[in-house]
Structure 1
């Protein structure tokens, strides 16, 4: 890609996924803009090197103004506090589509597994039918459908991944349920009800976005790829990785899914959790064939290194030598 055209607008650059993608683009020489309602907080907490523009993703005029002169718009924004999905998610993507059309930019979207029925789709590929069973899944499926319908007039890239872990992945099941941030790991909460869950190490996923966006000539107008990441076939791989860095076996508690279903009628986190509980009950693996076809190999940090960096960033582990003992599992490229 021509270096003069390597400018991206990242919506959601103060969040975990958007911030990681912004950082990966900056590290590879891109100019990156971020749209923020609170500029002072964004400058204080967002990635260093981002040019911040005041605005709101719910304002079409703000998004269009921020997108002037860019070749890529990264749509990694979610409703504040993950509330009001039914009212806010689709208008935000419509604003991004309008801005991208106006400037001829490609849209890059982090995709989710909620678009699928996990009981019927154990392996996700670019051709897998989207038949979501959850409210959030139906909204995400419509979001992607709008990108696909816009493809004749604009280009889009969706990189689908499992649940996040890694530095900066604050709003994640790993950081909010499995391990408690800010203190030594005393126990692990096992969210999975069995084996077969997919995880994405955030720096690897962000690097994948950057590498793909630097190869626009190889991408289809509407490109949908799967990021395989860490596939926990047994349901014990991530637990073993944490224990490997702590240096001892830890008590493992079951996540109280029964309570989520019981409390779901009252709204809040319990309702959101119960809505997507099926993705933790059934195995779902990402088929990254198309991704490997485009890049040659998927960026893959060895799991022991990735887990150590994650726990250090969460304040759960001192940044020192790895514990002596049996090495944790590492995954080949």
Structure 2
């Protein structure tokens, strides 16, 4: 069952890949972006240029949508000021059109004491401002679902693939031309990664089953849970050479945190690289039958190629 989907933030890391996945599955896709982001919109989708903070105009653009994907995002340093307001825009948009609201979730809400295996029953005990904010947004979504709106949250690890960049591009391979890789934590700690070309089709499959889902459906997406050693070894194999592995200098970020907002925000969640954790996706697999999954080596090799890292190295 397909239909019309409105992707809010369709030029972003997840939004563009989601728009492509819905388009390829035969959906009528509307990509909502700010005017300056139009060149990054997925081809073959309807382009709607609006500022997402103009809730009234966004609501009007969503008329007739069966699904709204909340892929709006802002830099870490702007989360406290803007993230909740953007979620309210997504809620108002889905409510007005009677659409299913879908959103990618993260693991920030579990806090420093999180267990190694995270599932839908794991309690949220945030220890960072970003974690508390994400919990508040999800509580708001749950309240809306109790009032009649349908909501799907798919919780995943750090994004990569689809030109997403993120930690892999900006940190891990940032100095690959100098024969060095960097990793944010101990190399023996498991950390979850979500390959976007797998995560986005998962959203499509859930949207196709929307009538059979509960009012508030929360799923874990396992992706690739690997140690830092496994990640750096896979990069070396994909590139075909060895590298010196550096540890990210968190102490330097903490020193500069008072004057560099992004460093302050990153330091709040540094525990994610020290605490082993992974996501359980048994509920998702039971719902879909099978979950899109590209083998880790192939997903990483494609990511490095798309980012131009293989050529640079």
SS of the residue aligned with 2:60?
A: helix
Please say if residues 12 and 77 of structure 1, whose CA atoms lie closer than 8 Å, have aligned partners that are also in contact. yes
Structure 1: how far apart are the matches of 2:57 and 2:121?
34
Deviations 1:80-132 (A, max 9, x none): x4432112111111121112111110110010111111423322111111111
Moved over 4 A (4+): none
Structure 1 length normalisation: TM-score?
Answer: 0.89
Match of 2:28 in 1: 31
Match of 1:178 in 2: 172
Please say if residues 181 and 244 of structure 2, whose CA atoms lie closer than 8 Å, have aligned partners that are also in contact. yes
Deviations 1:161-194 (A, max 9, x none): 1011112213x1111110129x757321111234
1:273 to 266, 269, 290: 266
Structure 1: how far apart are the matches of 2:177 and 2:27?
37
The answer on 1:51 being equivalent to 2:49 is: no
Structure 1: how far apart are the matches of 2:180 and 2:161?
18
2:156 to 140, 153, 161: 161
Match of 2:283 in 1: 290
Structure 2: how far apart are the matches of 1:222 and 1:303?
30
Match of 1:76 in 2: 71
SS of the residue aligned with 2:182?
A: strand
Structure 1: how far apart are the matches of 2:66 and 2:132?
29
Please say if residues 147 and 156 of structure 1, whose CA atoms lie closer than 8 Å, have aligned partners that are also in contact. yes
The answer on 1:238 being equivalent to 2:264 is: no
The answer on 1:8 being equivalent to 2:5 is: yes
In the TM superposition, 1:1-333 aligns within 5 A as 1=1, 3=2, 6-38=3-35, 41-79=36-74, 81-152=75-146, 153-170=148-165, 172-180=166-174, 184=177, 186-193=179-186, 194-232=188-226, 234-318=227-311
Structure 2 length normalisation: TM-score?
Answer: 0.94
Please say if residues 179 and 185 of structure 1, whose CA atoms lie closer than 8 Å, have aligned partners that are also in contact. no
Structure 2: how far apart are the matches of 1:124 and 1:249?
34
RMSD: 1.7
Please say if residues 42 and 52 of structure 1, whose CA atoms lie closer than 8 Å, have aligned partners that are also in contact. no
The unaligned stretches of length 5 or more in structure 1 are: 320-333
Please say if residues 118 and 284 of structure 1, whose CA atoms lie closer than 8 Å, have aligned partners that are also in contact. no
Higher helix share: 2
Aligned length: 310
Please say if residues 184 and 315 of structure 1, whose CA atoms lie closer than 8 Å, have aligned partners that are also in contact. no
Structure 2: how far apart are the matches of 1:119 and 1:185?
37
SS of the residue aligned with 1:34?
A: strand
SS of the residue aligned with 1:236?
A: helix
Structure 1: how far apart are the matches of 2:71 and 2:117?
24
- In structure 2, relative to structure 1, the CA distance for the partners of 1:262 and 1:317 (3 Å cut) is same
Please say if residues 190 and 253 of structure 1, whose CA atoms lie closer than 8 Å, have aligned partners that are also in contact. yes
Deviations 1:39-71 (A, max 9, x none): xx4332221112111212212112201211001
